Every structure is written in structure tokens, then in C-alpha cells.
Structure 1
Amino acid sequence: MDHINRKWVKCPIQSVGGSSSQNAFGVISYNILADCHVTPEDFPYCPAGSRFMKDRHKQLMIELQFDLESVDIICLQEVGETYFVQQLQPALLNLGFSGSFFKKQHGTAEGEATFYRNRRFSLTEERHVPCTQLIKEALLREKVNPDDVEQLLTYADKDNVIIMSKLYDSVTKKTLYVGNVHSTFSDYKFIDITTLQVVAAFNGLVEFAGDVDKPLIFCGDFNQEPHLPGYKVMHDGDLCEESVRYLMKFPIRTDNSAKRKPKYLIEEARDCFKHRCRPLKSSYKEVMGSEPPFTNYEDMYGTMLPDSKGDQPIEEIQKNSAGVYESDPEKYGTQLFRATLDYLWFNSGQLDCFRALDIVDESVVQKFHACPNQVFPSDHIMLKASYCFI
């Protein structure tokens, strides 16, 4: 049960409310790995009886129910529509949570789901938006050359969505705005698009809330590690020159782009890669002092199984990391993948994050080679943190 009995870590900075206050509420963010992303060839180390949601559901619910009284909002990514309707929604409704589901719009058989505890919160407004729509709004808002907008949208059109929820808190009589997002991964081939999706989604949440000085939670699977531009722009509000140069590795690729001089998303839409919420902080970094060493731990193609020929020495895999792993995007799929991709961001001008659930020790995962398996129901690790209104 080591994966369940994770410990709470308190923020070293004294919070205004604190865990004993009725002001406190808890949030989970978890990519639960939809069945549509599990083919017979994927995750060859995962036992047959632990591969699909009908079998993984029990383990998922065990995780979600750990210290359930501390949880008020649950944001899930990669939720299959059938699984939501037939198993997940009824199970969480039985535990006192209402929720909604938004399926991806281009045919991917999964989407996002956001749940809230009925006795604490009520939903007063919700917006379900494709990330491409938010990018279009950003391009128009920043007055990008109209002749370029269509080409940029054609290039940036990926099947990703966000759920924005306006929740009224019956205890504090305050309103909380929650964004649940899953940006594109595409084996790290479109880091420029991933970065723009993240910023556009957050700016969309700010617009939904009415301004930056509102209690905001922005969470999900960002598919960006702390050393990549998508994290840096969320952390700093803008891109440093190093990040800009990094994004210049990604020329815009469309049917007609080969005939023209290369264009780059970061050049054509530079002002869209910014946000105005300077107090935005990562919950885990605020509490722990750094991001988790990993929130995703998988070997999708079995490259590091004993009979495989992966290029990463097995001794390296068996070492515990003293800090945050840093992967090489160009090597994805050739070695075991350990990366920090998931975050719980919050507006520290309106909210305190006073504790976070520690990440399971790597040695516990290594017993099963990687995730998912008969104990861990997803290739991602659940994040959970507690907050209070200031």
C-alpha cells in the first residue's frame, strides 16, 4: 500500500488559513490513461488484467478515496466517454461529487472530467472549449496579421480541450475558478503548439474569471517538463530568450509550407506567449521547494525490459533521483520515460497552498518496472494539494 499511503507535506511558509480552518479545500489532478491510448503492443510489462479501465477502475477509486475528506475538487484527464457514464460518474456521485465531461472534438475517444463535492461547492457557470478556439481568440486579441491567422490555426489545430468551472463555495461564500486542461504531447514533436495551448488556455481561464485577481486553480497534464518553454512561461509569465531560441527549432509545417520560407509560431504570434498573472505559482514547488521528480513513469514500448535493447543503462534506471528528471525530447520512445508533466497552478495573490501529497518513491514503482500495472492504474501519478482562500 506504499502507493496509497503517501504523506502530506506542509508548506514551510505559514498560511493564512491552514489545515484546521473551514476555509480549506483540496484539489486532485490526475491523468488516468484512457483505453483508446492502450494498444495490444503498448506497456508490454502491464499484466493483462490491469490494462483497461474496467479492470483499473478499482485501483483508481482506491487512490481517489485516500483521505477523501480532504478532497473537494477532482480534475481528471484522458477520461473515456463510456467509462465516465458507466463507471466513473456513478461511483463519484455515490461519494457526494457531481461532475461534467467534455470529449475531445476531433474524434479522440476521451476528454476531461471535473468533479466537485456537492456539500461544499455548487457549479454556477461552466465553459467547455477546444484549445484551438482559445488560440484563435488569442491571435485575434493580439492583432496577429489576419493573413497569417488561418495558416497558424491549421498548423496549431490539435485535439485538446479545457473545462473551465466557476464554483461557489458555501462555506466561505467565495467563488473559485478552476481550469482542467490536457495539452498535446505528440511525442514532443510540437512543443511550440503545446506551449501556446497552455498559455491560451490559462488566459482563457482568466477571461472566464473576469480578471487576473481572482482565486484561480489551473491544473492538468501540461506535457511540459520544468526545463521546457511551456513550464517556464507559466512560471514567469513570459518566455526568456533561451526559450524563444528553443521554440525556433519548430518551423510551421502545413501542406504549403514547404514552398515558402520557414515560419515559426513563436515569431508570428510572439505576444500570445504571455500571461499577466504574476502571482501564479506551482503548488508542489511552493510546498516542496521543487517540482516532483516525476509525474509520469512509463516504458510504452518496453524498450527497457530485460530482453530489450534500449540505450539507457539499467543501472541508471535503478538509481533514485535526487531532483527532477530531465528527459531529452529527441529520445522519447527509445528509453524508459520519467518526466514531470502534471501541475497544480494557483493564484497566490488570492489563495494559499498549505500542503501537498508527496510523490510515491521511485523504488515502489520499480517493483513493477513502470506504470501502469496491477497497483498503479495509470502511467501518470496523482497530484493532490490543499488550499485556503486569503
Structure 2
Amino acid sequence: MTLNLLSQHYMWNQVFGSLDQRYLDWNQYCLPLINKIIAQLPCDIMCFQELESLVFSSQWQTTSRSTNTRCFTCTSSIRRIGGNKPVEHMDRVGIFVNRARFDVQDHRQVVFRDYILQHKQMFDFTPDFSKHVVLRKKFGLLLKLLHKTNNQTVYVTNTHLYWLPFYNDVKLLQTKLLVNELCRFIANDHCDPATANIVMCGDFSSTPDLMVYDFLAGKPLDVEHSEEFGNFYYGTVSEGEECVSELKNNLSILPAYSALLKGECAEKLDFNSFSSSLTAVLDQIWFSSGNFQVCKLLGKVDPAYCANALGFPDKQFPSDHIPVVAQLSYL
């Protein structure tokens, strides 16, 4: 499962002000409904975005042992998210793992901004790169799991990319940083990333027609002539390598919801994020194509239910995002 929880600190009036405010009460309504959804959709691996630090520490971290769940989170080293909001209100990404099914053998995080600043010699700090890319405070979390039944190693990532629509180049560069970190993570075990068991989840802030989706799908991207990159100069070196005009991801991964996105099933997935400002497919699950197959998917919201709705959250959905759930099996 992957689900953007919608932090209570991002319930902006200009986006959610027209909704029934009863259903935006975090403690009285949203959090209990989220817990109900988690109980109704018991998944061995659950990835969350916009996971508020205080909510995690006061709610889920304290109950993880009773639910046989092991929880990992990632948060930026930046102490504040804006204004006078304290560090407890910072949002994280988190991965919750079923202890009965998996042993967690290793984990690491990559905070994109921090990684760049810690490896300055590997990047060209042009004015565009410094202002447009470095300032974007998003992150990824990576886990190495051992499946207790068959002793298979599975690498899981969760991320939340920068959200503004006109930063598609930044989202692609953040995705590239995440994929490269995943490849290093796998290579540490002397394994080939192209054949490893991989599950990548998250809010990629990108619809299937954008570069992030194409990059993950393994399509070569001509960034030199891309409109998204055309107005910016990021230099000639990235992560210690000479920049090339074509970017390509060499992982063999597929989108779990491909059939629903292409309309190959009886119904087509129209959105998994629904608000007055944006209705789109943003949240995704990717898996290694040579190792897994999709058995089941959680389907779309009934169109009749949404026909007169102004957006989520509402009585049935505690976030503007809906859960994305896939059941995978080994080939």
C-alpha cells in the first residue's frame, strides 16, 4: 500500500475551504478513519507520505509492537517547514512492515537537498541548480527486507517528490537521485539492481504522461531538448558524472496499476488524488518485472460517489489521496 495521508498542516483553506469542515478535523475524524482503513486493508508493506512527526511518535510508533509492525521514517535535517511551525509538525515518509512476514535487515534515507550539499564536488552549482533544484526539500526511504517464507531479499523504497506542477525537471532529478541510491544500496550486497527484487512506492507528484513516469518505465528521455529543462542550466556534471543529453533508468520495473491506467480492465483509474485544485493519478507502485506479478489491485472510487463531490477529504476518505494497494506474488 502507498497512501499520502494529507498532513493537517497542509489543509489549506484555498484548497479545502469549500469542503465539510467536520471531515477535516484531524484528531476527531481523519486519524480514526485512517486507522480504520489500515485495519481494513492489512498490507505487509505500507508506505505513507505526509506523515507528521508528532502523529507518528504519539500514535503509531507507540502501538507498533502490539500490531506486530516495524516502522521506519525519514525526515529532513531542515528544522522547520516554514513560518513558526515546530519540528514536530514536519512531514515524513514512512514504511511500516509486517514483522510476521519480513525481517528488516537494513535501511537508509536520502534527503535530496542534504545529499547534494554533502556531495558538492559531484555537482555543478550553477545559479539555476542552486535556486531551482537544491532548495526543494523532499526525500526517500529505502529498506532491505528478508522474506521469512522463502528467504528472498526485497528492496523497498518510499518517496514524496516535490509537488508543484511546474517543477517537473526537479521531480525527474529527484527520482534519478533515488534510483541511484537504490542501486548503490543493492550493489552493497553484491547484487545486480537489474535483477533484484524491487518495490518502489510513493507520491511521485507526476501523472503518467510526465517524465518521471517515463523514466521509471525505462524510456530514454532527451533532456537536452526537453521543454521542462529548456529554461534552466544545471551544468555539465551530476553525481560525479558528465551530464548526457539522454537520461535512462536501467531498472527493469513496471507500474502495478498499468492495466487500470491503460483501460485494459473493465474500469480505468481516473485519479488517486482528488481535490478542487487537482484531480489526477500521482501515487504509484512499481515492481521488478522479472521477479513479481500483480495478483490483485484496489480499484477506483465509484464514479457515482464522486459525481457531485467537491473533493476529498470527506466522510469516507480522510485524505485528498486514496489508498493505492497491490497484491504481488513471486514468479
CA shift, 1:231, in A, is 1.1
Distance in 2 between residues matched to 1:66 and 1:127, nearest whole Å: 29
Q: Pick closer, same or farther for the CA change 1:110–1:233 going to 2, 3 Å.
A: same
Specify the alignment match of 2:69 in structure 1: 97
| Residue equivalent to 2:161 | 183
Query: What amino acid sits opposite 1:229 in the alignment?
Result: M
Q: Which amino acid aligns with 1:126?
A: H
Match of 2:269 in 1: 292
SS in 2 for 1:245: coil
Q: Kindly report the root-mean-square deviation, in angstroms, between the aligned alpha carbons of the 2 structures.
A: 2.8
Return 5+ residue gaps in structure 2 as ranges.
Answer: 82-89
Alpha-carbon distance in structure 1 between the residues aligned to 2:322 and 2:47: 13
Distance apart, 1:155 and its partner CA:
3.0
Where 1:359 maps in the other structure, the secondary structure is: coil
- Contact map agreement 1:135 1:196 (CA 8 A) in 2: no
How many residues are matched? 307
Name the counterpart of 1:168.
Answer: 146
Identical-residue share of aligned pairs (%): 20
Aligned partner of 2:209 among 205, 227, 243? 227
| Structure with greater Cα Rg | 1
Q: What is the TM-score of this pair, normalised by structure 2?
A: 0.83
Hey, which bits of structure 1, 4+ residues long, moved more than 6 A?
A: 136-141, 265-268
Structure 1 segments unaligned to the other structure (5+ residues): 1-27, 253-262, 300-335
- For normalisation by structure 1, the TM-score amounts to 0.71
Tell me, in whole angstroms, the C-alpha distance in 2 between the residues paired with 1:138 and 1:281: 31
Shift in alpha-carbon separation, 1:368–1:136, aligned structure 2, 3 A: same
Q: What is the CA–CA distance in structure 1 between the aligned matches of 2:235 and 2:228, rounded to whole Å? A: 8
1:206 positional shift: 2.1
Cα 1:138–1:231, aligned 2, differ >3 Å: closer, same or farther? Answer: farther
Q: Provide the C-alpha distance between the structure 2 equivalents of 1:94 and 1:87, rounded to a whole number of angstroms.
A: 12
1:201 aligns with 2:185: no
* Aligned-residue offset at 1:61: 1.5
Per the alignment, residue 217 of structure 1 pairs with: 199
The residue type paired with residue 284 of structure 2 is Y
Structure with more contact order per residue of length (Cα contacts < 8 Å, sep ≥ 6): 1
Q: What residue number does 1:111 align with?
A: 92
1:37 aligns with 2:10: yes
CA deviation vs aligned residue, 1:344-371 (integer Å, no higher than 9, x gap): 0111112222221112123223443211
CA distance in 2, matches of 1:216, 1:364: 35
Assess if the C-alpha contact under 8 Å between 2:208 and 2:281 holds in 1.
Answer: yes
**Does the C-alpha gap of structure 1 residues 150 and 83 become closer, same or farther in structure 2, counting only changes over 3 Å?**
same
